[in-house]
Amino acid sequence: MEKLMHRLSQNNIRAFKARDRQEAREIALSLIPPGALVGMGNSLTLRETGIYDSLVTGGYSLINQFETGISPGENLRRRKQGMLADVYFTGANAITMSGELVNIDGKGNRTAAMMFGPDRVVVVAGRNKIVEDVEKAWDRLREYTAPALAKKLGRATPCARSGVCTDCNSPERICRCYTVIRGQMPADRDRITVILVDEDFGI
Ligand code: SF4
């Protein structure tokens, strides 16, 4: 993890290491300035670390598109609003040992916000998300992450049934946007913070 933290720093991405979910949650919440408007992307890691619950119940100015009972239109409005939040929380699908953040997304609001918009982006990732390089990241995402996620979400895709990606054209296809963040501009140094947790989280 030390080597990866160094590579992230070379890419102008700040990195912290956390022993466990509790320390990860403490670091994550400490990165929210007083009064900040907080957005978030969909992430099993945020839920499993308890960060999601802390954001919902902690008295933050949270843009929560996951609130039950809101209309599809309100959900979309909040996703857009999240892209201009002061701080944006998300997980990562894979992080390479060269310090690159590799992600897939359906609509793309999460991956877009990671690249541009929010003043700060906080990425929380378990050790299981670390891969050797971008090629291995795509292998992991195509062969494991996307099929497992489609199954968990109950999507009507071939991979949800078989566990194998067929590069489908299903209306419920979940992997439509693919991004690699190789780093930030020097002027944007530390805009993205990655919290690497020494536990496994998410898919
Ligand atoms: S392209 Fe289709 S089959 Fe392949 S992982 Fe994505 S949703 Fe599943």
Q: What pLDDT, in 10s, does the model give residues 46-60?
A: 999 999 999 999 999
Rounded to two decimals, what is the model's pTM? 0.96
Q: How confident is the model at residue 11 (pLDDT cuts 50, 70, 90)?
A: very high
- Could you identify the atom of ligand 1 that is nearest to the CA of residue 104? 6
What domains appear along the chain, each with residue ranges and CATH number?
A: 2-197 (3.40.50.10420)
The whole-number pLDDT of residue 15 equals: 98
Segment 91-135, tens digit of pLDDT: 999 999 999 999 999 999 999 999 999 999 999 999 999 999 999
The whole-number pLDDT of residue 136 equals: 98
The whole-number pLDDT of residue 9 equals: 98
The share of the chain scoring above pLDDT 70, in percent, equals: 100
What string of DSSP letters covers the chain? -HHHHHHHHHTT-EEEEESSHHHHHHHHHHTS-TT-EEEE---HHHHHTTHHHHHHHTT-EE--TT-TT--HHHHHHHHHHHTT-SEEEE--SEEETTS-EEEEESSSHHHHHHHSSSSEEEEEEEGGGEESSHHHHHHHIIIIIHHHHHHHTT--SHHHHHS-------TT----EEEEE----GGGTTSEEEEEESS----
- Could you identify the atom of ligand 1 that is nearest to the CA of residue 146? 5
Pocket lining: 104 vs ligand 1, CB cutoff 6 Å = no
Among 93, 141, 153, 173, say which to mutate for ligand 1: greatest number of ligand atoms within 8 Å of CB: 173
The whole-number pLDDT of residue 58 equals: 96
The whole-number pLDDT of residue 165 equals: 95
